[in-house]
Amino acid sequence: MRLGLIGYGSIGATLLGLMTQTGLRVAHLSVLARPGTGATVKGRIAADQPALAGVVTVAENAAGLLHTAPDLVVECAGHGAVAAHLPAILRAGVDVVQVSVGAMSDPALEADLRAAATEGGARIVLPAGAVGGIDLLAALAPAGGLEVTYRGTKPPRAWAGTPAEAVLDLDTLTKRRVFFQGSAREAARAYPKNANVAATLALAGAGFEATRVELIADPSTPGNVHSYEVRSPVANYRMEIENLPSAGNAKTSVSTVYSVLREVRNRMEVVAI
């Protein structure tokens, strides 16, 4: 496989490391970096993954990435990167694993991405990320009547740099506090680095407006805890997952990277599950 990667932060670096550890080999790796950072990123990849040094190309725009003819592109660079690069890549007919699922909370951007994928005959793959049971939720959606409530609980410092700082003193918080209640669209727009799970649940199930969200800061939480409840005419269930935060970014659950690895593996292996 010729793999493209948009962004080389915590998720991108961890993904490449896991691919090496699990024996997934690529014929070529092309990385899309921010303008002016190409040489730095290439040096970091060479230092982190010396086995890839001979097969890496670093581009600084979507045209440069597409020039390397990737079979699959993994986006892990945030909402801005989705808007800036994915339409062109999809129109070129290249499938994309979109990690920044919350970007779909912008109706205009979602419409543009869907139109670009249709035009290019490409697919947008949304990984489950840090949450489980997405297969069941998506299976129940056609029956209608879904009621979905999601609760995202993280340590106080994981909410640093978000609107939570306006309502909580994150440094001195001593007890569990619910600081946001609203729709999945509102959550994904206000907390783009923390609420991708809410967007994933909305897209798989009842939609952005009907999916209810609570965001919680809790100094006693064992990690990043994602829980949600589903009621439907077909089945009812509850899911709760305790995730360890990523070593490079407390806002991201480490299981998110394993979810992305699964999507890449399913593209490369003869059996997909």
Spell out the residues 6+ positions from residue 216 whose beta carbon is closer than 8 angstroms to its own.
151, 152, 153, 154, 176, 177, 178, 179
226 is catalytic: yes
pLDDT tens figures, 121-171? 999 999 999 899 999 999 999 999 999 999 999 999 989 999 999 999 999
Q: What is the rounded CA–CA span in Å between residue 196 and residue 206?
A: 15
The candidate with the shortest Cα–Cα distance to 134, out of 228, 268, 5, 37, is 228
CA atoms of 199 and 62, how far apart (whole Å): 25
Domain ranges, ordered by start, for the chain? 2-127+255-268, 134-252
Task: Report the CATH superfamily, name and number, of domain 134-252.
Answer: Dihydrodipicolinate Reductase; domain 2 (3.30.360.10)
What was the pLDDT predicted at 250? 62
Neighbours of 22 (CB within 10 A): 10
* Set 28, 79, 85, 226: catalytic member: 226
Q: Is residue 233 scored above 90 in pLDDT?
A: yes
C-alpha neighbours within 13 Å on the C-beta side of residue 205:
31
List CB contacts of 23: < 8 A, sequence separation 6 or more.
Answer: none
Over range 220-235, report the average pLDDT: 94
Pairing state between β 2-6 and 72-75: parallel
Structure-block tokens of residue 170:
């994150």
Q: What are the residue ranges of helices labelled H in 106-253?
A: 107-120, 134-140, 184-190, 196-204
Rounded to an integer, what distance in angstroms lies between the CA atom of residue 202 and that of residue 187? 11
Q: What is the DSSP string of 85-121?
A: HHHHHHHTT-EEEES-GGGGGSHHHHHHHHHHHHHHT
**CA proximity to 55, closest of 27, 14, 21:** 27
CATH no. of 2-127+255-268: 3.40.50.720
Residues 174-217: pLDDT tens digits?
999 999 999 999 998 899 877 889 999 999 999 999 999 999 99
pTM for this predicted structure: 0.92
Phi, psi dihedrals of residue 126, rounded to the nearest 5°? -105, 110
Question: What pLDDT is recorded for position 253?
Answer: 75
Q: From residue 162, how far is each of 21, 97, 133, 193, 253 by CA, in Å? A: 34, 25, 27, 9, 17
Neighbours of 46 (CB within 10 A): 13
**Contact, 28 vs 57, CB < 8 A?**
yes
Q: How far apart are CA 65 and CA 7, in angstroms?
A: 12
271 pLDDT higher than 70: yes
Query: What residue type is 252 in one-letter code?
Result: T
